[in-house]
Structure 1
Amino acid sequence: MTLRDRGTMKWTSIFLPEHIAQLRRVKSEMDNAYNRKPSIDPEQWSDFESKIQYAYRTGMDCEIRYWRNWVAESVSGVIESVDPVGGALRIDGVEVPFREIVWVALEDV
């Protein structure tokens, strides 16, 4: 005689249909709340690099959107430092790794 585990099936009998519907709705809401990180193609990344270099050299304000904790956050100001070895930059006191950057724009003065 072999022991067969029914997995999660043994717990489904204690859930009411209303509970299952509500759990599915909550899961759907959570899936929609957390977006996927946009993919950046090499041409876009080249554009971002040139904007970052220009803003850093001239001291021009720029806005950077970066991906953190499943959402895009934004920071703007003057780029304080760029660390190519560590792969990050510092802007307005915020450390932003290059791999998290999803958008860069120079601000007109």
Structure 2
Amino acid sequence: MRDRGSIKWTSMMLPEHKKMLADLYEEQKHFTKPTLDEQKLEELNDIVRVALGHTLDVKVTFYRHQAFYSVKGQVAKIDELHKIVRIIDDSSAEHRVPFEDIVNIEID
């Protein structure tokens, strides 16, 4: 016997209940932003500066809208006034990632 989970019960549910279940499943996909300590922030700063100085490819993972995203490319500029790192990807598109959203940076 194969159990279909909540699928078998949705035919007996009101539309409002189906929406609540869909919202609950969507909510479970959301993540909370991790808090980085001072040592990790310093490490990320060093990696960005090395990548900028040597035009290395990086993978920047950042948090936005309760989810994690990644962008690969070269660091074009560190805008300390606006607290943004500008990344140019392979298709020459520019991505502006705020400092506070960055979770991890890896040299590719």
Q: TM-score range by the shorter chain?
A: 0.7 to 0.9
Q: How many residues align?
A: 91
Residue 68 of structure 1 pairs with residue 69 of structure 2? no
Q: Distance in 2 between matches of 1:94 and 1:23?
A: 35
Q: Which runs of 4+ in 1 moved over 4 A?
A: none
**Structure 1 range deviating more: 53-62 or 25-34:** 25-34
Q: Deviations over 1:29-69 (max 9, x none)?
A: 12212111122121111110100011011111111011122
Q: Which runs of 5 or more structure 2 residues have no equivalent in the other structure?
A: 1-11, 89-93
Greater Rg by CA: 1
Calculate percent identity across the aligned residue pairs.
19
1:104: which partner in 2? Answer: 105
- SS, match of residue 85 in structure 2: strand
The residue that corresponds to 1:87 in the other structure is: 83
TM-score, normalising length: structure 1:
0.74
Gaps of 5+ in 1: 1-16
Partner SS for 2:13: helix
What's the RMSD between the two structures over aligned residues?
1.7
Letter in 2 for 1:47: E
